[in-house]
Amino acid sequence: MATTRLFRLGLALGSVFMVLLIIVYWDRVGTAHFAPHTAFSRPHTPGPRPSPGRAAAGEPAPGVGQFLEGLLGGAGLKQDALPGRKAEPSPPPAPSRPEAGSVEESVRGYDWSSRGAPQGPDADGRQAARRGVLRGFCANASLAFPAKERSFDDIPSRELSHLIVDDRHGAIYCYVPKVACTNWKRVMIVLSGSLRHRGAPYRDPLDIPREFVHNSSTHLTLNKFWRRYGKLSRHLMKVRLQKYTKFLFVRDPFVRLISAFRSKFELRNEDFYRRFAVPMLRAYANLTSLPASVGEAFRAGLRVTFSHFVQYLLDPRTEQLAPFNEHWRQVHRLCHPCQIEYDFVGKLETLDQDAAQLLRLLKVDGQLHFPPSYRNRTASSWEEDWFAEIPLAWRRQLYKLYEADFVLFGYPKPEHLLRG
């Protein structure tokens, strides 16, 4: 009996020791094997970085990856990324590009014209300036907004669903809807190899059908870590956030709202009609009997107006019922820029240049190109026309609602829309 108890005690202590060993290894060495093109400390540089121990000489520690995979059940450790394994050979060309997978892509089309981009990791100092503005206002008490002061540990896992992880290249992308996120998700699929067609990973982002791009099961996101790693999840999140290149793309907040309205309410979208348009028409257009489908509603001339949409955003009952939909939720609520120190802040207004610069920073510019921009992209010059019928008091309230996004990401206050 005593021997059995001692054996169980020894087994328990051994298990605890092995877990601690995993944590120490992962924190100091393990992630290095997954992020060969990113630096450990900020600011990131495009040059190579050494890893501790044998990895510094280009020799991965043998067997450790397989051991970790076996102990953790293989969760999150891709076969072709494990130390000691040979790199996967170049896949064959992907199939020919399919037709556009949504009404929005068909309507807008693509602009295939190329635009020049600054050479080097930050040749024009643009990134340093954007990060400086962001960090400065995060530390400035004069800018206050909900949840600004909380720590990363205070963020619920459900609020980390927009942070997509690529362990193969050491990158984390926080996607913001209506800021080229469909094509950036396509890029992340190509980089991570998370989706295959006829046995081979996709190589051209535009070959990936839209329905797969927005399927949450396609991407590894931080909110999935708890299910994969249990009590180790927060630690492993922090390791990646410390060592990986973290990036996001933003856009003028008011222009983003106009773009969201155009794509979700001016085009026929059955889901958004039932979930949002019907309640808006009932609450703000005083309509009680509405068609069951968006097609019938459009034929009857029953459409949500931009004024209805603004009323919906300003209505305190909206947030009481549920958080804003991701297409109009504030960027600081999606990406937590005061808790996560982003290495690269791209903007839709300079998308072509920023995309090329980021792909060079990740050292994948020879592997793929960012897809072309939409031809019919919502422009900032349209703001005055869109807001012409919106009362001044509503405009000012709307600015206060999105003020943190304007300030954190360096967008000027739209005085021309807010003056009396």
Q: Are residues 353 and 413 in the same domain?
A: no
Rounded mean pLDDT, 14-31 = 50
Per-residue pLDDT, 376: 66
Average pLDDT, stretch 196-210? 93
Q: With 80 as the cut, is the pLDDT of residue 17 above it?
A: no
Sign of the dihedral through C-alpha 388, 383, 299, 268:
negative
Q: Is residue 67 part of a domain?
A: yes
Same domain membership, residue 214 and residue 177 = yes
- Asked if residue 149 belongs to a domain, the reply is yes
Report residue 61's pLDDT band, with 50, 70 and 90 as the boundaries: very low
Q: Who wins on pLDDT, 283 or 117?
A: 283
Same domain, 361 and 323: no
**Euclidean distance between the first and the last CA atom of the chain, given in angstroms as a whole number:** 85
Give the contacts of 193 (CB within 8 A, at least 6 positions apart): 78, 80, 88, 168, 201
Does the pLDDT at position 102 exceed 90?
Answer: no
Give, to the nearest 10 degrees, the angle between helix 2-28 and helix 64-71: 120
Q: Is the pLDDT of residue 210 over 60?
A: yes
pLDDT at 276 over 80: yes
Domain presence at residue 98: no
Query: Where does residue 332 rank: exposed (0-12), middle (13-18), buried (19+ CB within 10 A)?
Result: buried
pLDDT in tens, 315-348: 999 999 999 999 999 999 999 999 999 999 999 9
* The pLDDT of residue 139: 96
* pLDDT at position 277 over 70: yes
Whether residues 396 and 323 share a domain: the answer is: yes
Asked whether residue 107 is domain-assigned, the answer is: no
Residue 96 inside a domain? The answer is no
Residue 28 pLDDT exceeds 60: no
Q: Is the pLDDT of residue 98 over 90?
A: no
Q: Are residues 413 and 304 in the same domain?
A: yes
CB of 287 within 8 A of CB of 302? yes
| pLDDT of 412 strictly over 60 | yes
The reported pLDDT for the residue numbered 345 is: 98
* Residues 129 and 225 both lie in one domain: yes
**Is the pLDDT reported for residue 193 higher than 70?**
yes
Instruction: Dig out the tokens for 293 from the structure.
Output: 């489908």
* Domain shared by 347 and 316, yes or no: no
Within 8 A by CB and 6+ apart from 196, the residues are 202
What percentage of the chain exceeds 70 in pLDDT? 70
Query: How does strand 200-201 pair with strand 110-111?
Result: unpaired
Tens digits of residue pLDDT in 218-267: 999 999 999 999 999 999 999 999 999 999 999 999 999 999 999 999 99
Q: Quick one: DSSP state of residue 53?
A: G
* Domain endpoint, select from 21, 50, 81: 81
The closest of 339, 354, 349 to 408, measured between CA atoms, is 339
Q: Do 188 and 200 belong to one domain?
A: yes
Residues above pLDDT 90, as percent of the chain: 68
Strand partners, 249: 346
How many independent structural domains does the chain possess? 3
Q: Is 195 helix (H, G, I), strand (E, B) or coil?
A: coil
Contacts 24+ apart (CB under 8 A), 318-324: none
Q: Are residues 168 and 242 in the same domain?
A: yes
Q: Are residues 365 and 394 in the same domain?
A: no
Around Cβ 245, how many Cβ atoms within 10 Å? 22
CB 380 within 8 A of CB 255: yes
Quote the domain boundaries for residue 59.
2-81
Inter-residue contact 419 to 335 (CB < 8 Å): no
More confident residue, 419 or 54: 419
Which pLDDT score is estimated for 114? 47
Neighbours of 118 (CB within 10 A): 17
Residue 25 has pLDDT above 50, yes or no: no
Q: Show which of 81, 111, 135 is a domain's final residue.
A: 81
Check pLDDT > 70 for residue 129.
yes
Q: In the listed set 32, 61, 81, which residue is the last one of a domain according to the structure?
A: 81
CA distances from 290 to 271, 286, 301, 311 (A): 15, 11, 11, 19
Identify whether 205 is part of a domain.
Answer: yes
Residue 225 and residue 347 share a domain: yes
Tell whether 108 is covered by a domain.
Answer: no
- Residue 270: both structure tokens together: 């059955």
Q: Crossing angle, helix 233-243 and helix 2-28, to 10 degrees? A: 20
- Supply the pLDDT for residue 20: 54
Angle of helix 253-261 versus helix 392-408 axis, rounded to 10? 120
**Average confidence (pLDDT) over 41-67:** 35
Q: Is the pLDDT of residue 38 over 50?
A: no
Q: Answer whether 402's CB lies under 8 Å from 330's CB.
A: yes
State whether 216 and 354 are in the same domain.
Answer: yes
In a domain, 176, yes or no: yes
* pLDDT tens-digit series, residues 151-166: 999 999 999 999 999 9
Residue 346's DSSP bridge partners are 249
Q: Write out the two tokens for 392.
A: 């001044």
